[in-house]
Amino acid sequence: MSVSLLSNAYLDENSAKIRQKLVPWEGYQRAELITLDELARIKKVERQPRSKVESVLLSEGRTYALLYLNLLKKLQRIDPIQCLLVLITDALTDHEERIPLFIKASETDAELPFSVLLRCLESQDEFIQLKTAQILTVLMSAESTPLNSQDLRPFLTTLATFIQGPSANKRDIAVQCLESLLLRPTCRREVWKTPGIINGLSEILKRNLGPQMSYQAAFCLWLLSFDAEIAANINKKYDIIPTLVEIAQNAVKEKVIRVIVATFRNLVSKAPAANLPAMLVSHLLPFVKNLATRKWSDEDILEDVKYLKDELNTRFESLTTYDEYTSELASGHLSWTPVHESDDFWKENAVKLNEKNHEQLRILIKILQESTDPVVLAVAAHDIGQYVKHYERGKKYVTEFGGKAKVMELMTHPNSDVRYRALLSVQQLVSQPWISA
């Protein structure tokens, strides 16, 4: 990939200033930090017109790739490191054929290029951090670059801190780096092992930082969704489907909707059982039906929309009310849908929560224990009460799985509806006779 694809105003402005800045190379030579030969070579390209630098690199590209990296390894002061990083990005801009010159530096010194660049990431200077991230992404995104997890992992860990931190520049560069790295399938699994990244992408979408950033974050999730294992687990772990549905519903830009719909298609085609329930609970079907009536400039959207509509319709038509309920439980997003307050539903289905070693009851109690959403907590507390009311042995299992203690704790919750539903549920738990199984 080209350096120019990673664009950021902060980096561009500061790079222009650094190109004009005087670096005391002679002083470093007198201090024996660099050799006379290195001094002569760096003076041939420092603060020179691009055309002159290009002619030097044309004949001595390998020599200068090694020079820049060796000087990065030797020097520690901010000014020369900034200068060298700018020289490296200038050498790589519009010249992807030079990437191997930097990668093959490892044949001369095993620490080059990655160990040296990863050390630059540890700098306290924001420009050095971001310029280094830019260079590492260009080198690691190249298909010709053999990727080593011991180089990739620390870089991804740094990107995770960037993406979750307060700096808008770091967040912007981190997302752009991920867009490039995730084009390589081997990078997807490593990103999946770095939870801070997906948390960060999810937070960007929830905070709605503008259409461009929403598109870029969704683009990263789309690339991740090509991996079948990730597609099967990403919503279970990070609850991305409701967030993506909301972003798409409110999106003005077609490209935002396009990338989210494409992500949904991947999630359905690669892991339908894991993702269709959450999509139905998030009301994706009526939204997709609406999308099918719109005019689009990109025909791929219509194809993906039709695929989703057909798959969701098939699933929806085969659902019983109990299937709807378990789909809602699987999503973790409980709301006041009709089944919760239907006495007939609970008379017929309460006992089914005990199937497969009380699988659904355990899920309900887990939601009760882990959710922070007042609506979810109120509905879950209500459902515990309904289960106990309509299944006489229910009290034993709710107590055994930790549900009773949690419901009693919710009687002091700040939200009045949660307190009320917990109180009603506790009344059921206390009033029902304890009947041994």
Least confident of 4-8, 35-39, 101-105, 267-271: 4-8
Q: Return d(Cα 265, Cα 246) in angstroms, integer.
A: 16
pLDDT tens-place string over residues 323-357: 888 888 988 888 888 889 888 899 999 999 999 99
Quote the pLDDT of residue 436. 45
Question: What sign results for the dihedral spanned by CA atoms 362, 375, 284, 217?
Answer: negative
Quote the pLDDT of residue 1. 57
Check pLDDT > 50 for residue 7: yes
Q: How confident is the model at residue 179 (pLDDT cuts 50, 70, 90)?
A: very high
What pTM, to 2 d.p., does this model score? 0.83
Q: How confident is the model at residue 5 (pLDDT cuts 50, 70, 90)?
A: low
Q: Who has greater pLDDT, 364 or 313?
A: 364
Q: How confident is the model at residue 315 (pLDDT cuts 50, 70, 90)?
A: confident
Q: How many residues does the chain have?
A: 437
Encoded amino acid at 402, one letter: G
Q: How confident is the model at residue 437 (pLDDT cuts 50, 70, 90)?
A: very low
Quote the pLDDT of residue 4. 61
Quote the pLDDT of residue 146. 76
Q: Return d(Cα 239, Cα 414) in angstroms, integer.
A: 25
Residue pair 402/392 in contact by the 8 Å Cβ criterion: no
13 burial (CB, 10 Å; 0-12 / 13-18 / 19+) is exposed
Output the CA–CA distances (angstroms, integers) from residue 322 to 68, 344, 346, 347, in the order listed: 65, 12, 10, 12
pLDDT tens-place string over residues 109-150: 999 999 999 999 999 999 999 999 999 999 999 877 778 899
What fold, for 322-430?
Answer: 1.25.40
Provide mean pLDDT across the span 243-270: 96
CATH class of 168-320: mainly alpha
Provide mean pLDDT across the span 162-176: 95
CB atoms within 10 A of CB 54: 15
pLDDT tens-place string over residues 30-84: 999 999 999 999 999 999 999 999 999 999 999 999 999 999 999 999 999 999 9
Q: Return d(Cα 127, Cα 9) in angstroms, integer.
A: 12
Residue pair 308/288 in contact by the 8 Å Cβ criterion: yes
pLDDT tens-place string over residues 196-239: 999 999 999 999 889 999 999 999 999 999 999 999 999 989 98
Check pLDDT > 60 for residue 432: no
Q: What is the dihedral of CA 229, 172, 50, 108, to 10 degrees?
A: -40
Check pLDDT > 60 for residue 433: no
| Burial profile 84-97: b = 16 or more Cβ within 10 angstroms, e = fewer | bbbbbbbbbeebee
Query: Radius of gyration over alpha carbons of the chain, in Å?
Result: 28
Q: How confident is the model at residue 283 (pLDDT cuts 50, 70, 90)?
A: confident
Encoded amino acid at 158, one letter: T
Domain borders along the chain are 1-145, 168-320, 322-430
